[in-house]
Structure 1
Amino acid sequence: MSAWHGASGTLTAVFTPEREGFHLYSTDLPPTGVEGVGRPTSVTVSGALKAAGRLTTAAQVRSIAVPGVDAPVPVYPDGSVTTTLPVHADGEGVASVSLGYASCSVSEGCTIPVSDRPVGLRVTGDGATFDAS
């Protein structure tokens, strides 16, 4: 969490593929991909945190052609992608951040997609911190 002012802040998540030469899919990709290919890079919040805007990234989206898929598939350049989500505290308590992503390589295929991976946070009047419980 950064830029916390009053009850609002910015949640930043950095997604880094485990291997070089792998890319992540656009945050704007449909939940089931393009013709079943890919999964969007996603960050959602629930509980004591609410999204106060859209998930964004400074990475430039490019389209790739995937054999057997008629439509272009939007991806980020190979490597890490930093996302930001404006959030607002809806009181104090427990919050959850759900992460989703899939990484692929044009030459080596894809890793197993991650969907709704929870990360616990605790929200107080001072902001949000990782929940160790």
Structure 2
Amino acid sequence: MGKPTAHQAIRHLRLRGLSTELPVYPDGPVTFTLPVRRTGSHQADVIVSYGACSATRCLVPVTNEVIQLDLG
């Protein structure tokens, strides 16, 4: 129903060997909020993909992770 927001600001990280900057959040936990609207069922699946990088390396990205929401 809306765009996701995060409680931390994005910063840009340039890794050696890449010709682009990566938009990343600071180290540590980041809380995301996504407004949703119930249209029927009391359960919904949210599918997310994400990656984690430090100044020296990136972990293997997680793709299509299903998070089940109970909207009861």
Alignment TM-score, normalising by the size of structure 1: 0.48
Write the letter of the residue equivalent to 2:31.
T
Task: Tell me, yes or no, if structure 1 residue 120 matches structure 2 residue 55.
Answer: no
Equivalent of 2:7, from 40, 49, 58?
58
Alignment TM-score, normalising by the size of structure 2: 0.81
Runs (5+) with no aligned partner, structure 1: 1-51, 123-127
Structure with more strand by fraction: 1
Runs (5+) with no aligned partner, structure 2: none
Tell me which residue corresponds to 1:87: 36
Deviation at 1:93, TM superposition (A): 4.3
Tell me which residue corresponds to 1:111: 59
Write the letter of the residue equivalent to 2:41.
E
1:21-62, Cα deviation, whole Å (9 max, x unpaired): xxxxxxxxxxxxxxxxxxxxxxxxxxxxxxx10011121111
Write the letter of the residue equivalent to 1:111.
L
The number of equivalent residue pairs is 72
Identity across matched positions, percent: 36
Write the letter of the residue equivalent to 1:110.
C
Runs of 4+ off more than 6 Å: none
